[in-house]
Amino acid sequence: MHRKIEMPLFDLSGKTAIVTGGTKGLGLGIAATYASYGANVIITARTAADITAACAHIQEQYITGNNLCIGVAADSGKQADIDKVISSALETFGKVDILVNNAGISGKTAPILSDECDEENFISVIDTNLKGVFLLSKAVAKQMAKQGSGGKIINISSVGGLIGGKGLVAYGASKAGVLSMTKTMANEFARYGITVNAICPGYVVTPLNEDIFANEDIRKKMESRTAVRRLGTIEEIAGPALAMASDCFSYMTGTYLLLDGGQTIGG
């Protein structure tokens, strides 16, 4: 006798998600996708005006139910700001189910031996991209463990964490660190029903880099490095991020999704 295999839907109704760096680019795309699939969303960024605009955009364009999008001005590298984010989530929604550590900076593009590749730049990138993931994940995991209902942590790493891109030593080191930390957190948090995974995007067009990719020579050069011969879109990252936040990926932890159009297989 044959029976239909029921697959979990990409339904986040009743879930509460925190998305850092959620006002632009990948963060905004992921936050909007989660909201459109029923989640209550808290987006964080450093600029209050950007948060207000992003929340209004998500609320007006993506939310059709009773769920909400709120914003908190915060630096995920500062403990006081992290406490503020957690408090806001609990005061408004009573719990946290999903965390997406998306906030990040690339820092200066410069060879290691150049003057521009200095200690200040290195520390700035590490503080945002690595320390921020550590601090917020720790705080959220504590809350998830206290709730007793598990949760999902999704870290946005990068192809840059897998290959040694020239001129971005701090960025590459931070994103490689995120992948290593993802494995350790997955090991330690599993007993609480918390899964921890990462996404490694390749070349993706966002509002932050579209001016660069508008240069035909640069665009063609980047496209030639991928097997699919094109750049990725925000939707192509937000979709897998939705799947990872849903019940479909409940058996996956401690690993990463490589979404690079075939860049790392030699193009």
Q: Active-site residue numbers? A: 157, 171, 175
CA 262, CA 227: separation in Å to the nearest integer?
Answer: 5
Rg over alpha carbons for the chain, rounded to the nearest Å, is 18
Q: Write down how long the chain is.
A: 267
End-to-end CA distance of the chain: 45
List alpha helices for the chain, DSSP H: 25-36, 48-61, 79-93, 119-126, 132-147, 169-189, 210-213, 216-224, 235-245
CA 250, CA 267: separation in Å to the nearest integer?
Answer: 31
Q: Which of 72, 54, 51 is nearest to 63 (CA)?
A: 54
Question: What are the C-alpha distances in Å from 8 to residues 12, 125, 203?
Answer: 11, 38, 30
Strand partners, 257: 199
CA 119, CA 161: separation in Å to the nearest integer?
Answer: 20
